[in-house]
Each structure stands twice: as C-alpha cells, then as structure tokens.
Structure 1
Amino acid sequence: MHQRAHTEEKPYSCNVCDKSFARSNSLVVHQRAHTGEKPYQCDNCGKTFTQSSHLMAHLRTHAGEKPYSCNICGTSFTHSETLKIHLQMHTKEKP
C-alpha cells in the first residue's frame, strides 16, 4: 500500500462520482459526503462529524485549547487552518 503513494495508483473508486483513492479507508470517509453519515458525535454539544479527527479538533473548542500560535505576534488558535489564514494578514497574501 505504501508504494501506491509513489505510483499514484488509486484502485478504490467511488460509485457515485468516480473519484478514486489509494486507500480503502479514504473511500469510506469520502462516501460519507454522499450519504450524509456523520458517525462521530460530540458529547458536549451533540454536533456530528464525518471523521474522528474532525471531532477531536472540535473538542479543543470546548476545552479552550489553542495549540497553534503565530510566531510573529503570538496570537493562538484552536485550528491550524485559522492560523494559516491569520498568517496571511502578516504577509499580505491573498487566500
């Protein structure tokens, strides 16, 4: 399976939109976009997610965790994507 990352082989195809994946688990997660399945639920607020990693990131909002810090001004963020957007403010880059 590791070699597929180098060969770009993607033997797992979605039967709805024909998108292909190197790993079967990636196909399973993708198919949730079509079915609307969100098997991971937050015990605090009930919000549901398609991936466990998205639930884990969400849980940081309840815990007040902000592990991503700007190395320019020190502002901290809950999500890495929010930090990336913030950094564009310092560099004046457009998203």
Structure 2
Amino acid sequence: QSPYQCTVCMKSFSSSSNLLQHQRSHATKKTYKCMQCGKSFSRISALTQHQAVHRGERIFECSNCGDRFTRSSSLILHGKTHEGEKPFVCTQCSRRFSRASELVAH
C-alpha cells in the first residue's frame, strides 16, 4: 500500500505531491466532461489522459521494464511486481502471484 492516502476517498498515492494534486479534485468543480462515458474532470489534462483509455492508448510506461498500460492504476499495480510484492491472490487456495497472467495460468 502506498504511504499517502486521501481521507475523502481512501485512494493511495506514492508521493505527497500526488496526494495533494488529487485532493484538489475533491474541492474543484469538475467542468470537463468525457462525451464517451460521462465522467467529469476538474482539469482538461485529466480529461485528455482519461480519453486515451477509450482509444486503448498505453500512455503509462514502467520505468523499470518499459511495459505500457492504459491506466495509471494498472501501472502502479504492475510496479509492485518489481518490488517483490504478490498482489494477485487465488480465491481457491490463497496462493499469491506477482502477475495477473500467472494467476490466470494457475
């Protein structure tokens, strides 16, 4: 788990600056709306980043291995595999895996 957590929505962040930027989203009017799904954002840059998900663009790149992801949350989860964490758990036997593909193969 990341050390910085939003007290409003409980989302976790790896740095205090990312948490601070996120917390502003709770207080700011969300005026930028995605025409595809209706989700609203307080910054045009956040909307632009979100729209890349609809296009299937993998804009989030892992600095360790170069793997790319459509969502920042997927990159964060992937990053845990480089730290030795095993966030993917089998619901049948509780065995843990570092990658989702390993869990599926299991």
Largest Rg, 1 or 2: 1
TM-score computed with the length of structure 2 as normaliser: 0.45
- Higher helix fraction (1 or 2): 1
